[in-house]
Amino acid sequence: MSDLTTNPRPPAAPPLTERQEARRRRILHTAAQLASRGGFDAVQMREVAESSGVALGTLYRYFPSKVHLLVATMQDQLQLMQSQLRKHPPSATDPGARVTETLMGTFRGLQREPQLAEAMVRALTFADRSVSAEVDQVSRLTAVLITEAMALDHPLSRDQLAAVRVIEHTWHSALVTWLSGRASIAQVRIDLETACKLLAE
Amino acid sequence: MSDLTTNPRPPAAPPLTERQEARRRRILHTAAQLASRGGFDAVQMREVAESSGVALGTLYRYFPSKVHLLVATMQDQLQLMQSQLRKHPPSATDPGARVTETLMGTFRGLQREPQLAEAMVRALTFADRSVSAEVDQVSRLTAVLITEAMALDHPLSRDQLAAVRVIEHTWHSALVTWLSGRASIAQVRIDLETACKLLAE
DNA sequence: GGGTAATCTAGAACACGTTCCAATGATGCA
DNA sequence: TGCATCATTGGAACGTGTTCTAGATTACCC
């Protein structure tokens, strides 16, 4: 929407050399590793830099803030999940049930590394406008995840698109409540199932 | 749920003296004022303390962190909105429409002080487990807001309770999306209306 | 290969949330 | 009234995200 004013990165980012690409991967890997034990607070920029064999200034050149770094980590993880899901698509027949199944599967994935999940989601919700392009990308990935789970042959109707948005809101907010210990996994499942009712017409 | 282990405040908090109550109000007022211009970042603990005529250590005795302070501010504002709404209840006849109307009204209230809204919502979503009791309270206030808008004479059915949860998720997440500039008010309204369809049976 | 611009490094410096401490003031009990 | 406990104050100190600088290294072009 306001890419022209708010988005300094994507417009013609110069392609990275091989060494640079490697550095970037190394940084993301270190971040995920530190997050996996310790969560958000354990991802300390000095330590990320040192463990990645990179100077602090360089780290900040690649990721302009800790939040940017962790949101990029989330993009990474989401893409991983996506390729997993394409290999093992959900089995239910009803679209709503498939979406629930898919999202709960993703949930279990996050559950396996709860600290990593905490770090990424805290970053995502704490992000201010300077990260909106990257956050938007995460949102887009999530929407794709949901619509692929529906596995329809038609393009989505207007109502279905609206429903997908609400499901995404529910997914995201339920995740936050679970991470802060205010809802159980069972409750999250119920909330997702409720939201998925909107897919039936 | 886990109040016994996670909630150090409410169990028998000693009643505050008048001077203490006044200090607390003063602090909350300063916080809201600083947040109103400047948002989250502008609420600096040293400045809150100084402007409230209170030592930094005292501020931290009343509110153990910046996030606690801003979540308390949100509780405050929500209660304000609640009393406003009780004076001017929504006019529509359909429960779903009344809920949308109420929430959009609240939204417009937040829109009038967008920086304050940003500060409170950032705090809310950034809160970790140490604030879960307070965040839970905010969630409860929101749920009350929604159910009062429905204005039913029966107690809520199981499905309605589930729907209220999804509406609350949607409200919360849509708020975040709007604050980060990734959705328009019109889009927020559509999302709320979509979620409110769940109230029809 | 030489020159130049971009990138990277090491580390100091700064900002703000948070903690700690010694001294002072308020409160309530015998 | 005197004493004991707790709250408040002012300010120093610490940790971590972020910025800045000067010099080394790398990448690219002729």
Give which of B193, B195, B137 is closest to B164, Cα–Cα: B195
Answer whether residue B18 is part of any domain: no
Answer whether residue B153 is part of any domain: yes
Q: Which bases of strand C have any atom within 7 Å of the beta carbon of a protein residue?
A: 7-12, 16-22, 26-28
Q: Which of residues 111-170 of B touch strand C (CB under 7 A)?
A: none
**CA to C1' distance (Å), from A130 to D26:** 30
Structural contact between residues A54 and A26, judged by C-beta atoms closer than 8 angstroms: yes
Gap between the Cα atoms of A191 and A168, Å rounded: 11
Proportion of chain A above pLDDT 90, given as a percent: 76
Contacts of B182 in chain A (CB under 8 A): 1, 132, 135-136, 139
Give which of A163, A139, A145 is closest to A90, Cα–Cα: A145
In this structure, what CATH number is given to the domain that contains residue A192?
A: 1.10.357.10
**CA to C1' distance (Å), from A38 to D21:** 33
Work out if A86's Cβ lies within 7 angstroms of strand D: no
A87 CA to chain B: closest CA distance, Å?
A: 30
B182 in A contact zone (CB under 8 Å): yes
Answer whether residue B4 is part of any domain: no
Residue found under tokens 């330590």: A47
Domains identified in chain B, total number: 1
B-contacting residues in A 11-70 (Cβ below 8 Å): 40
The residue of chain B nearest to residue A130, with distances taken between CA atoms, is: B180
Q: What is the mean pLDDT of each run of 10 residues along chain B (201 residues)?
A: 35 68 96 97 98 97 98 94 90 90 91 96 94 94 92 88 96 94 95 94 64
Answer whether residue B58 is part of any domain: no
Work out if B16's Cβ lies within 7 angstroms of strand D: no
Work out if B38's Cβ lies within 7 angstroms of strand C: no
A10 has a pLDDT exceeding 70 = no
What tokens were used for A102? Answer: 């898919």
B16 CA: nearest nucleotide by C1': D7
The residue of chain B nearest to residue A132, with distances taken between CA atoms, is: B180
Chain A interface, best mutation among B125, B136, B158, B159, by max A CB count within 10 A: B125
A129 in B contact zone (CB under 8 Å): yes
Task: For chain A, give the longest Cα–Cα distance.
Answer: 55
B189 in A contact zone (CB under 8 Å): no
C-alpha distances in Å from residue A173, one per residue of A190, A192, B60, B79, B201 = 13, 10, 29, 22, 24
The separation between CA A37 and the C-alpha centre of its own chain, rounded to angstroms, equals 18
Output the pLDDT for position A154. Answer: 84
Can you give the residue range of the structural domain that contains B112?
66-199
Output the pLDDT for position A201. Answer: 64
Model pLDDT for residues A119-137, shown as the tens digit of each residue: 999 999 999 999 999 999 9
A136 in B contact zone (CB under 8 Å): yes
Are B165 and A194 a contacting pair at CB < 8 A?
A: yes
Output the pLDDT for position B200. Answer: 84
Answer whether residue A88 is part of any domain: yes
- The 3-state secondary structure of chain B reads CCHHHHCCCCCCCCCCCHHHHHHHHHHHHHHHHHHHCCHHHHCCHHHHHHHCCCCHHHHHHHCCCHHHHHHHHHHHHHHHHHHHHHHCCCCCCCHHHHHHHHHHHHHHHHHHCHHHHHHHHHHHHHCCHHHHHHHHHHHHHHHHHHHHHHCCCCCCCHHHHHHHHHHHHHHHHHHHHHHCCCCCHHHHHHHHHHHHHHHCC
Answer whether residue A92 is part of any domain: yes
B40 vs A153, higher pLDDT: B40
Output the pLDDT for position B4. Answer: 29
Residue B44 identity (one-letter amino acid): Q
Average pLDDT value for residue range A162-182: 95
A172 in B contact zone (CB under 8 Å): yes
Output the pLDDT for position A152. Answer: 81
D21 nearest neighbour residue (CA to C1') = A57
A6 has a pLDDT exceeding 50 = no
Output the pLDDT for position A114. Answer: 95
C16 nearest neighbour residue (CA to C1') = B44
B44 CA: nearest nucleotide by C1': C16
Phi, psi of B93 (to 5 degrees): -95, -35
Answer whether residue B7 is part of any domain: no
Answer whether residue A150 is part of any domain: yes
**CA to C1' distance (Å), from A180 to C17:** 21
Residue A47 identity (one-letter amino acid): E
A45 has a pLDDT exceeding 60 = yes
Q: Which of residues 57-86 of A touch strand C (CB under 7 A)?
A: 57-58, 61-62
